[in-house]
Structure 1
């Protein structure tokens, strides 16, 4: 079975685009995970600082 040259090129382009999209989605997922960890850390730090102010003002 033979494919026309333009169809083969279009299939390769589609494969490259799909690979690129997958990499972007993977990186986005990694960044979302990291931001979630940063938000949790900031919330914990905020709670600790609030407790220190309460303790210092007592």
Structure 2
């Protein structure tokens, strides 16, 4: 998948991305559930040291 966006110098650029498998069990099924999940899920931007 490729996405092309117009970004303007000097203006903030924010990109939100999310996905969920729609046939999973127990995952978010509604927008409200997804919003609650994204607001409470831990965020970790560290590079993993375990490279399998």
TM-score computed with the length of structure 2 as normaliser: 0.25
Going by fraction, where is helix more abundant, 1 or 2? 1
TM-score computed with the length of structure 1 as normaliser: 0.23
Structure of greater Rg: 1
Higher relative contact order (CA 8 A, sep 6+): 2
